[in-house]
Structure 1
Amino acid sequence: MKFHEPADDVRTPRAQAGSSPQHLLTTLLGEYLDSAEADLPSMAVIAMLREFGVSEPSARATLSRLVKRGLIAARGNRRPPVYHLTPQAIAKHRSRMQHFLNFGAHPAPWTGEWLLASFSLPSSGQASRHALRRSLSALGFVGLYDSVWIRPGSDAAPVKEALRALLHHVEGARWSVLHARFDEETGPHGPAAAYDLTALASAYSSFVQRYAELRVAARNGEVDGARALVARTSAMDSWRKFADVDPDLPAHLLPKPWPRQEARETFLDIHTMLGSLAQARLVEVTTPHWPEASSWITHFQASRNPSRPEPTGGRPLVG
């Protein structure tokens, strides 16, 4: 993967099956609020999450947890509480939104170069072995053999840092990071065999099927604001997982046909056509608790030929 999150103290909730209230609120704030200056009353957040069936006690607990994670901060000691996005969270949201919305737009440049990480740990280092595998997976690596992990590309710095941080205290640990080229990329012993591309293709096809009816309804203007907000958020939550798990391999290593482009077009249609409706619904449900809502709530708009996605209908994206 090409994307690396900024190094700061903001910890986003881990993605999981379904959407936890924390993950859901993080998605909503990233999609529809793009300013650290906005004063966001707690009751407005509760109203947002109520659209997704989240109870008030759960919404309040979610706010507390996101404060601890550094995504939002309380504005003074007001009662009822008022929150704002932190500048670090704004920067992370923008970077993540750009990554999600641009993913799959253009083929990744291919030089034939792979990164290879190899390690050897003593038998007593089982806990470190599990932690290392999790870290390598998060960096887009996949196991080629037991202790040999690969990913396309040439940026070795992040994996070097991860290996050093995890293994420097493990006595007897050895590791190397190499740049490699394979004589046979597509064969049963080449790097492509390390990926479950059949399962990934199936997941893309399932995405297309899952959202086909919604896509038609959106095109026909048959989706109201309440449904648009929930459905658009669901589509984004589903699409963003692909941007994190698809290794973005060069075309000659992919099965034919490859369904990612159809999935991207499905996502773009839904995300684009339902954006204004979803934004309007959020303004509608939060205005009774937040009279300035219409001045701050916005939405990001993807581009078919993206250079940078922009939020529309609210505060402009700056910087």
Structure 2
Amino acid sequence: MTAPGAPDRGTRTERTRSAEVPTRLLVHALVREDGTVDAGQLYSVAVLLGMTDQQVRLCVKRLVTDGRFTQEGRGRKAVLRAVADPTGALAPNAEYVRHAYRQDAGHAPWDGVWHLFAFAVPESRRTARDALRDTLLHVGAAPLHGGLYVTANPVADIVEAHARHLGVLDSLTFLTSTDLRVGNVTDPVALAAGLWPLGEIAARYERLTDFARHCLDGLEVREEAGGAGRGASGRLALAVELAAEFTRAMEPDPLLPPELLPQPWPGTRARRLTADCWQRLRSTGSDRPEGREGLRLFRLYGDTLGDLPEES
């Protein structure tokens, strides 16, 4: 599975660690279905991610002070209880992710239509104007000129809903076109390359690919050793890192249709490896230790990546 001259799988498993996981995200990732976090499990996974006990203690203290969790007991014997569902930042947008996999499988071909949005919101409503711009960027639209944005995806309903909520719908113009030209550039692939930072997006997916391969290598080594190794904590550490790396790659991706992207596109490979790794993680052991409820992390990603379309 590794290239000639690369470290053997055992060495790679021990030394390769590409994902950077914030301590707060780790706490959120270990929330069980009953809303609790086992502090003993938290500290065990944290050390595998290179975190110190002091980092974990300070993070827990801040979360409790902020009113996001309550704490019963002390140290590794403590139990944290979420005051509200804290998994929003960790949970993937299921429809967004499934659309990406539909594109990868060839089930969402581009119809050749560009979707444009133009707005002129006065300075007196700067907050609403900035929020509308952030919405457009969030759904993958790119700026053409001041107040004019374009995307290849049909996101008008989402943009309209946000504009209506912000009270600026009357200042927003919707337009579709199959004839887009920027200067002398008319080729859709060239337009996409000029409008979106495809190199940066591809680099994030290459990083995800490297980590997903590391994850698969580690799981294979564990299986060959008959399940020996770092046990449940090691598996959870991999799952948390994989979720963090997947989010880091997916969030800034405008999910342009494959027809507009250089091929082969690294996002396709990275997403498939992520799905493979996630399925292996779920099958290598129960996430319900000692009969307790499983982690929300496994349900959130399992529901999203568990039923992917077959490639054409």
Per the normalisation by structure 1, the TM-score is 0.64
2:214 alignment counterpart: 213
2:11 alignment counterpart: none
For 1:19 and 1:141, the matched residues in 2 are separated by: 28
1:162 alignment counterpart: 162
Choose which of 243, 251, 265 in structure 1 pairs with 2:258. Answer: 251
Matches within 5 A, 1:1-319: 18-29=20-31, 33=32, 35=33, 38=34, 40=36, 44-45=38-39, 47-48=41-42, 51-52=45-46, 53=51, 54-63=55-64, 65=66, 67-68=67-68, 83=81, 96=92, 98-99=94-95, 102=98, 104-107=100-103, 108-122=108-122, 128-166=128-166, 168=168, 175-184=171-180, 186-187=187-188, 190=191, 193-221=194-222, 224-225=230-231, 226-275=233-282, 280=287, 283=289, 294-298=291-295, 299-300=298-299, 301=302, 302-303=305-306, 305=308
- Of structures 1 and 2, the one with the larger relative CO (CA 8 A, separation 6+) is 2
Deviation per residue, 1:75-101 (Å, 9 max, x gap): xx9877763675x778x6997374576
Q: Specify which structure has the higher proportion of helix.
A: 2
> Relative to structure 1, is the Cα distance of residues 272 and 165 closer, same or farther in structure 2, using a 3 angstrom cutoff?
same
For 1:28 and 1:119, the matched residues in 2 are separated by: 42
Does the 8 Å contact 2:115/2:174 carry over to 1? yes
RMSD over aligned Cα atoms: 3.9
Give 3-state SS (helix, strand or coil) of 2:262's partner.
Answer: coil
User: Unpaired segments of 5 or more residues in structure 1?
Assistant: 1-16, 284-292, 308-319
Does the 8 Å contact 1:49/1:59 carry over to 2? no
Q: Which moved more, 1:151-160 or 1:236-245?
A: 151-160
Does the 8 Å contact 2:117/2:172 carry over to 1? yes
> How many angstroms does 1:256 deviate by?
1.6
For 2:80 and 2:238, the matched residues in 1 are separated by: 28
Give 3-state SS (helix, strand or coil) of 2:115's partner.
Answer: strand
How many residues are aligned here?
260
Query: What is the letter of the counterpart of residue 215 of structure 1?
Result: L
> How many angstroms does 1:160 deviate by?
2.1
Does the 8 Å contact 1:117/1:149 carry over to 2? yes
Give 3-state SS (helix, strand or coil) of 1:271's partner.
Answer: helix
For 2:192 and 2:163, the matched residues in 1 are separated by: 21
Does the 8 Å contact 2:189/2:261 carry over to 1? no
Query: What is the letter of the counterpart of residue 230 of structure 2?
Result: D
Give 3-state SS (helix, strand or coil) of 2:251's partner.
Answer: helix
Per the normalisation by structure 2, the TM-score is 0.65
For 2:154 and 2:99, the matched residues in 1 are separated by: 19
> How many angstroms does 1:233 deviate by?
1.0
> Relative to structure 1, is the Cα distance of residues 190 and 136 closer, same or farther in structure 2, using a 3 angstrom cutoff?
same
Deviation per residue, 1:18-62 (Å, 9 max, x gap): 543333333333xxx3x4xx263x6x2464255223423422432
For 2:306 and 2:65, the matched residues in 1 are separated by: 35
> How many angstroms does 1:140 deviate by?
2.9
> How many angstroms does 1:263 deviate by?
0.8
Give 3-state SS (helix, strand or coil) of 1:199's partner.
Answer: helix
For 1:261 and 1:245, the matched residues in 2 are separated by: 15
Does the 8 Å contact 2:142/2:196 carry over to 1? yes
2:6 alignment counterpart: none
> Relative to structure 1, is the Cα distance of residues 230 and 154 closer, same or farther in structure 2, using a 3 angstrom cutoff?
same
> How many angstroms does 1:296 deviate by?
0.5
For 2:114 and 2:65, the matched residues in 1 are separated by: 42
For 1:123 and 1:94, the matched residues in 2 are separated by: 35
Deviation per residue, 1:93-129 (Å, 9 max, x gap): 9973745764632213533334322112445665554
1:13 alignment counterpart: none
Query: What is the letter of the counterpart of residue 224 of structure 1?
Result: R
> How many angstroms does 1:146 deviate by?
2.2
Does the 8 Å contact 2:117/2:150 carry over to 1? yes
For 1:297 and 1:188, the matched residues in 2 are separated by: 45
User: Unpaired segments of 5 or more residues in structure 2?
Assistant: 1-18, 181-185
> How many angstroms does 1:257 deviate by?
1.6
